[in-house]
Amino acid sequence: MIRVALLSRWHVHADDYAREASEHPSIQLTTVWDEDPARGKRWADELNVDFENSLEFILARDDVDAVIVDTPTSMHKEVIIAAAKAKKHIFSEKVLALTEKDCEDIFSAVEEHNVSLMLSLPRLNDPTYLYAENAVQDGLLGDVTSIRCRLEHGGALATKSHPNGWLPTHFFNKEQCGGGALIDLGAHPIYLTNRFGGQAVSVYAEMNAFTNRAVDDHSTVIVRYASGATATIEAGFIASKSPFILELHGTKGSILVEERTLRIQSTELEEEGWITPDLPEQAASAMDQWVEEILTGTKPRITKEDMRVLTRINEAAIASSKTAKRVSLNSEAHASV
């Protein structure tokens, strides 16, 4: 049994991870810490577990083998490295950190202290992604030439019940989040296109604040890859009815995904025109992969490279938006204008 402490209820998905952990046969929730003690105490009472007021003390507890980190993104590096040094396994909400250098520091601590690190990148486990990944690897699209991925909701839009939008106010706090729509919701299109595109060589970004927040509420990013392919990534908080869209186009075919539906057309298939294929089963969740690595050493499908390059693209996009210029990524993966 893996005894787990919950570190912060700041993120909107914190309750989801607490629920998944509490229902997992190999996890036991033991205690809660929060940078906001009042919020943490309420959460601990709801879950009927201990509340610990000190991060140092909670990481020193013998009944804590692992932690789930849902602090503000700006605190990830400090909290995750402290957990690694205390030899606690770590599960965290995306993104891992605000800079690639911070990611590398986290990886060094995790490797030095031999603990498992998992980041929740759920769309890598979705049947539509799994089918598309296999189709690309099997050559059904030929050489991938362009990618488009869009994910948007209306969390920043005023409604009768939520005049400031349904996202919590702190999701527009630049200091805590490091950004807005792109660094949060845009993480999903970024890590998906990274998988399909390969090595990114340049990034150009437009970040807009339609609702006049301090952070972007809609962003568009163009990524160019070493293969010659390009990707258009769109993310926002200002479209209430926008579906998830993934398009993959290549020299021999295309894949179109809308929400959970996938169609493919390929010169490599016997069928003419668009077909709707059978999809594989849902892959193990990030939490299941994390638990399996802790218990058996099984290598997760979600990798440190997924985590690293997600932050790399975000960091370059911010630099591009500030300068209104395309940002090149050199061989050492640091952005330069």
Tell me, what CATH number does 24's domain have? Answer: 3.40.50.720
Domain assignment of residue 334, yes or no: no
> Do 65 and 109 lie in a common domain?
yes
> Residue 32: what are its φ and ψ, rounded to 5°?
-130, 140
Q: Does 19 share its domain with 116?
A: yes
The answer to whether residue 255 scores a pLDDT higher than 80 is yes
Number of domains in the chain: 2
pLDDT digits (tens, 9 = 90+) for 222-246: 999 999 999 999 999 999 999 999 9
Q: Which of 134, 52, 32, 151 is CA-nearest to residue 94?
A: 151
123 φ, ψ (degrees, to nearest 5): -75, -10
Is the domain of 225 the same as that of 264? Answer: yes
What are the residues facing 258 on neighbouring strands? 245, 261
User: Do 110 and 38 lie in a common domain?
Assistant: yes
CATH number of the domain bearing residue 259: 3.30.360.10
- Taking the C-alpha atoms of residue 281 and residue 285, their distance in angstroms, rounded to an integer, is 12
Same domain for 154 and 262, yes or no, is yes
Say yes or no: 52 and 177 in one domain: no
Owning domain of residue 241: 123-283
DSSP character at residue 196 = H
182 and 111 in a common domain: no
Rounded to two decimals, the pTM is: 0.95
Cα separation values, 44 from 6, 52, 274, Å: 9, 9, 51
Residues 81 and 166 both lie in one domain: no
Predicted local distance difference test score (pLDDT) of residue 336:
54
Which amino acid, one-letter code, is at 145?
A: T
Is 165 a domain residue?
yes
Band (337; pLDDT cuts 50, 70, 90): low
Tell me which of 120, 136, 166 is where a domain ends: 120
pLDDT band at 330 (very low <50, low <70, confident <90, very high): confident
Q: Average pLDDT in the 126-140 region?
A: 98
Boundary (domain end) residue, out of 283, 300, 319: 283
Cα separation of the two ends of the chain: 49
Calculate mean pLDDT across residues 105-109.
Answer: 98
**Same domain (yes/no): 167, 27:** no
Quote the tokens at residue 25.
């046969």
